[in-house]
Amino acid sequence: MRTQVGIVGAGPAGLMLSHLLHLAGIDSIIVESRSRAYCEGRIRAGLIEQWVIDLLIDSGVGERLRREGMFHDGIYLCFDRALHHLDFRNLVGKQVAIYGQQEIVKDLIARRLGDGGRILFEVEDTSIHDIASTNPRIRFRQGDKAHEIECDFIGGCDGFHGVCRDTIPGDKRATFERDYPFGWLGILSESPPPADELVYTYHERGFALYTMRSPTVSRLYLQCAPDEDIANWPDARIWEELHTRIAGTKPLQEGRILQKGVTPMRSFVCEPMQYGRLFLAGDSSHIVPPTGAKGMNLAFADVRVLSRAFEAFYRSGKDDLLEAYSRTCLKRVWKAQRFSWWMTQMLHRYNLENDFDMRRQLAELDYVASSVAASTALAENYAGLPMP
Ligand code: PHB
């Protein structure tokens, strides 16, 4: 097989890259180790920034988002047993939307296949080769048949555990990492969300987040230990903790728990995001803790920059945008890292031996809720910094 851009991974980054390239008349093939059903069912991020809403609509894959997305003007901060609303529309003139990653993935897969795109699901033993040459290759197996795709470029969109990042020689990349002494226990519940917008809660027992997937399905998270055993959390304990942390500021309705799991939290960056003809995008090169809701948004930002660079290359033969890819992306990546770390350290309980941090966090929350300057800074980052 031969294509212009070989893409590893059919998550939001790989699919959007392939879609944007197609709109620019550039051919691509996606290889994915999981099944289509797995990719479309995986419950992950849910919040998109204003410019991502615009990107989905403007690129022709926003029809269902328009109908089913939940458009929010802001968020609530809950601390000291009171709710404080931050109005992004007033502060920065932007909205955000709740529209699950799996819905975006479904829309993009349907559109790619409808446009005649090639997505190869359930491939095995994927490896990439010759990335320092002008003819990189993707090799994989399907059943007992070995295959090879010859490409001009490779998009490494295969997530944190994918194979692409590790093919960059160790002495040609650096990694920056931070672990947190807590994780999130997340549930999906058949019950209406407690508020019309997201509630980020700081409580002496720990952080909680009340978000949603639809008017009748809530997505609820509790700060827990990073290695928490889900077996220690029967449904009744989860609900009790969720009630305690929202502290009566909104009525919390219980429902059937459809899914439960623990997510560890980390901050991670691999630099540079490119080597030879391999370009990393999304989780393959950076991970943020979920508190800032930046993960999927960053993946889209990477592929927006990358698709424009490929377009310039194929149109005029110029590779200056491709050369600048990593530098361009990392500016946004590090700002998102800073914001995600900042939200995380402000909202989680740690240093339990000493209440200094708790007093400091409450002061910071009060400052953010009461100062126009501070709430504007949060709103500007949360609703999405301008795209280059
Ligand atoms: C979600 O809806 O799953 C979600 C929203 C905002 C976050 C994290 C997760 O900060």
Q: Which atom of ligand 1 is nearest to the CA of 200?
A: 10
Q: What is the mean pLDDT of the chain?
A: 97
| Pocket lining: 290 vs ligand 1, CB cutoff 6 Å | yes
Q: Show the CA angle centred on residue 306, arms to residues 126 and 333, nearest 5°.
A: 95
Q: Which residue's alpha carbon is nearest to atom 7 within ligand 1?
A: 293
Q: How confident is the model at residue 111 (pLDDT cuts 50, 70, 90)?
A: very high
Q: How confident is the model at residue 13 (pLDDT cuts 50, 70, 90)?
A: very high
Residues marked as catalytic = 72, 200, 290, 294, 382
Percent of the chain with pLDDT over 70: 100
Give residue 192's pLDDT. 98
| Pocket lining: 75 vs ligand 1, CB cutoff 6 Å | no
* 152 CA distance to ligand 1 middle (Å): 37
Give residue 45's pLDDT. 85
* 139 CA distance to ligand 1 middle (Å): 36
Domains of the chain: 5-48+100-176+267-342 (3.50.50.60), 180-265+349-369 (3.30.9.10)
- Per residue in 87-100, pLDDT (tens digit) is 999 999 999 999 99
Residue 260 in this model has a pLDDT that exceeds 80: yes
Give residue 141's pLDDT. 98
Q: Which residue's alpha carbon is nearest to atom 1 within ligand 1?
A: 46
| Pocket lining: 293 vs ligand 1, CB cutoff 6 Å | yes
* 45 CA distance to ligand 1 middle (Å): 6
* 130 CA distance to ligand 1 middle (Å): 38
Q: Which of 44, 221, 260, 382 most suits a substitution to test ligand 1, by most atoms within 8 Å of the C-beta?
A: 221
Q: Which residue's alpha carbon is nearest to atom 6 within ligand 1?
A: 293
* 107 CA distance to ligand 1 middle (Å): 20
Mean pLDDT on 256-274: 96
Residue 388 in this model has a pLDDT that exceeds 80: no
| Pocket lining: 208 vs ligand 1, CB cutoff 6 Å | no
Q: Which atom of ligand 1 is nearest to the CA of 47?
A: 5
| Pocket lining: 46 vs ligand 1, CB cutoff 6 Å | yes
Give residue 18's pLDDT. 98
- Per residue in 289-331, pLDDT (tens digit) is 999 999 999 999 999 999 999 999 999 999 999 999 999 999 9
* 164 CA distance to ligand 1 middle (Å): 27
Give residue 44's pLDDT. 86
- Per residue in 25-58, pLDDT (tens digit) is 999 999 999 999 999 999 888 999 999 999 999 9
3-state secondary structure string across the chain: CECCEEEECCCHHHHHHHHHHHHCCCCEEEECCCCHHHHHHCCCCCEECHHHHHHHHHCCCCHHHHHHCEEECEEEEEECCEEEEEEHHHHHCCCEEECCHHHHHHHHHHHHHHCCCEEECCCEEEEEECCCCCCCEEEEEECCEEEEEECCEEEECCCCCCCCHHHCCHHHCEEEEEEEEEEEEEEEEECCCCCCCCEEECCCCCCEEEEEEECCEEEEEEEECCCCCHHHCCHHHHHHHHHHHHCCCCCCCCCEEEEEEEEEEEEEEEECCEECCEEECHHHCEECCHHHCCHHHHHHHHHHHHHHHHHHHHHHCCCHHHHCHHHHHHHHHHHHHHHHHHHHHHHCCCCCCCCHHHHHHHHHHHHHHHCHHHHHHHHHHHCCCCCC
Q: Which of 88, 219, 346 most suits a substitution to test ligand 1, by most atoms within 8 Å of the C-beta?
A: 219
Q: Which atom of ligand 1 is nearest to the CA of 212?
A: 2
Q: How confident is the model at residue 376 (pLDDT cuts 50, 70, 90)?
A: very high
* 279 CA distance to ligand 1 middle (Å): 27
- Per residue in 150-176, pLDDT (tens digit) is 999 999 999 999 999 999 999 999 999
| Pocket lining: 294 vs ligand 1, CB cutoff 6 Å | no
